[in-house]
């Protein structure tokens, strides 16, 4: 069976935008930390906001990356059971449904916890930059809703499980 080369398929605009957002987060983080290190060790002073900014950007970058990785099949996967059951279509179909239901349940749990943290952060501000406290747990909420929606869409569509990589056993 010939699988299409991922480099031949066009990347959707939302994925390109997410990749750009992650690259921007990483670039700003690297610049903030570099400037802070140079100022601290070279001149005996630093930028107090660089740690807070780096933490915020890192959290956003991680959750944007998690949401973008799901449709690409780039999350960690243990495929040995699926490979063993590859010839049995009914078992593979049941496992596919079970996996998607587990992903949706995990996303619901993460969304609930993240929502509670967003509510707690509504009345708070960060110490140095004074950004709203709900801005830190928000990407976890958005990521869980996005991945849960994608998994639900795949479940309803009865899409076959595509792990996005060619490894036989992991």
Looking at residue 82, its pLDDT comes to: 67
Q: What pLDDT, on the 0 to 100 scale, is given for residue 141?
A: 97
* Per-residue pLDDT, 156: 93
| pLDDT, position 28 | 94
- Is the Cα dihedral 136, 142, 145, 151 positive or negative? negative
Q: Which tens digit of pLDDT belongs to each residue from 104-153? A: 999 999 999 999 999 999 989 998 999 999 999 999 999 999 999 999 99
Q: What percent of the chain has pLDDT over 90?
A: 51
C-alpha 99: how far from chain center: 18
pLDDT of the residue at 20: 93
Name the 3-class secondary structure at 71. Answer: helix
Question: Which residues of the chain fall short of a pLDDT of 70?
Answer: 1-9, 76-87, 162-170
- Position 138 scores a pLDDT of 96
The pLDDT of residue 79: 65
DSSP 74: -
Beta bridge pairs of residue 125: 132
Quick one: which of 122, 105, 114, 106 has its CA closest to 140? 114
């Amino acid at each position: 069976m010939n699988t299409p080369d991922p480099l031949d398929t066009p990347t959707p605009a939302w994925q390109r935008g997410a990749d750009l957002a992650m690259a921007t987060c990483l670039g700003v983080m690297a610049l903030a930390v570099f400037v802070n290190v140079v100022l601290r060790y070279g001149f005996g002073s630093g930028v107090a906001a660089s740690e807070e900014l780096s933490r915020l950007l890192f959290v956003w970058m991680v959750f944007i990356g998690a949401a973008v990785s799901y449709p690409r099949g780039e999350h960690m996967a243990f495929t040995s059971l699926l490979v063993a059951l590859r010839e049995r279509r009914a078992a593979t179909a049941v496992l596919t449904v079970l996996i998607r239901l587990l992903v949706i349940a995990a996303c619901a749990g993460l969304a609930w916890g993240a929502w509670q943290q967003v509510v707690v952060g509504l009345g708070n501000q960060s110490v140095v930059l004074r950004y709203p406290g709900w801005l830190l747990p928000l990407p976890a909420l958005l990521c869980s809703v996005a991945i849960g929606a994608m998994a639900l869409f795949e479940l309803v569509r009865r899409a076959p499980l595509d792990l996005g990589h060619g490894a036989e056993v992991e």
